[in-house]
């Protein structure tokens, strides 16, 4: 039976799951939906109301972290370090990125993209045509629901920006000793998660779906993006995308 991954194409948490499956050499079919529209397919597949959701036979795995562990079990050691100390450190970083960094990068970028139809249209690629049409018809209602669900309010967005600052500063300090990877001497779940969840603000070229570029922004958003890109942590994440994500996509 075909392994199926239910996603929102541009979601960075879906990118995390997609990258893990590609890294492990798992063959799968991706079923793409737009935000809000993804809730029902995920529930019908036996998951929650969120994506990514992996469906393998009768098994549903409704979380990017669980999907990553499932992928590593099929190619042991491709993501989870064998050394117990390194594994614990990598999983702790993954959890920190999932809980704080990922939601912050998502909120910041959604806030700046949703008013821009010229940028929003790029993110809709890969979604069913009927969903794109329905979004165009019911866009005001959809945007209202989205803003309430992820708190697209100026105070919350500024708080998210400060959390992004703090994470990039912390990871830059960690990298100051010259290490090539966040944990141990090889690529792991920590590197994958940090790179994938930084994508909304670092806009890597090797991302699976088309993203805007820094030049699409002006004023304060542009200044913030440029400042983030200048950090050692950002340079690390972009290098990881080029050296680890691009080859995994070609192999898949």
Q: Residue 251: pLDDT above 70?
A: no
Structure tokens at 53: 């959701």
Residue 216 lies in a domain: yes
Per the model's pLDDT, the better-predicted residue between 219 and 42 turns out to be 219
| 65 located within any domain | no
Q: What is the largest CA-CA distance in the chain?
A: 53
Domain range for 230: 84-122+152-245
Average pLDDT for 31-43: 83
* Mean pLDDT estimate for the chain: 91
Domain count, the chain: 1
Q: Tens digits of per-residue pLDDT, 199-228?
A: 999 999 999 888 999 999 999 999 999 999
Residue 237 lies in a domain: yes
Return the SS3 of 56. strand
Q: For residue 171, is it within any domain?
A: yes
- CB < 8 Å & 24+ apart, contacts of 153-157: 156/107, 157/107, 157/108, 157/111
Query: Per-residue confidence at 13, pLDDT binned at 50, 70, 90?
Result: very high
What pLDDT does residue 30 have? Answer: 94
Q: Where are the alpha helices (DSSP H) in the chain?
A: 12-24, 39-44, 64-74, 84-96, 102-113, 117-123, 129-137, 139-149, 154-174, 189-202, 219-229, 232-240, 246-251
Residue 131 maps to a domain = no
pLDDT, residue 64, reads: 95
Encode pLDDT of 83-120 as tens digits: 999 999 999 999 999 999 999 999 999 999 888 878 87
pTM (global) more than 0.85:
yes
The residue that leads in pLDDT, 229 or 44, is: 229
The residue with greater pLDDT, 147 or 29, is 29
| Residue 37 counted as domain residue | no
Band (pLDDT 50/70/90 cuts) for residue 124 is confident
Here the CATH number for the domain that contains residue 161 is 1.20.1050.10
In a domain, 144, yes or no: no
Is 71 inside a domain boundary? Answer: no
């Amino acid at each position: 039976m075909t392994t199926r991954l239910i996603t929102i194409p541009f979601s960075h948490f879906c990118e995390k799951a997609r990258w893990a499956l590609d890294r492990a050499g798992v063959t799968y079919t991706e079923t793409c939906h737009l935000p809000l529209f993804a809730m029902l397919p995920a529930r019908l597949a036996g998951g929650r109301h969120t994506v990514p959701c992996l469906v393998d036979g009768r098994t549903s795995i409704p979380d990017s972290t669980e999907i990553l562990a499932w992928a590593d079990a099929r190619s042991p050691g491709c993501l989870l370090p064998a050394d117990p100390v390194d594994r614990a450190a990598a999983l702790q970083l993954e959890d920190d990125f999932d809980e704080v960094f990922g939601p912050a990068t998502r909120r910041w970028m959604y806030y700046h993209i949703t008013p821009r139809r010229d940028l929003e249209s790029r993110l809709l690629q890969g979604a069913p045509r009927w969903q794109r049409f329905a979004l165009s018809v019911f866009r005001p209602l959809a945007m209202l629901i989205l803003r309430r669900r992820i708190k697209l309010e100026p105070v919350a967005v500024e708080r998210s920006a400060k959390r992004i600052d703090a994470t990039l500063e912390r990871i830059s300090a960690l990298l100051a000793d010259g290490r090539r990877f966040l944990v141990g001497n090889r690529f792991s779940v920590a590197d994958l998660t940090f790179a994938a969840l930084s994508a909304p603000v670092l806009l890597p070229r090797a991302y699976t779906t088309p993203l805007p570029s820094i030049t699409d922004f002006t004023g304060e958003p542009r200044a913030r993006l440029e400042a983030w890109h200048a950090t050692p942590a950002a340079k690390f994440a972009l290098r990881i995308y080029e050296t680890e994500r691009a080859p995994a996509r070609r192999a898949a």
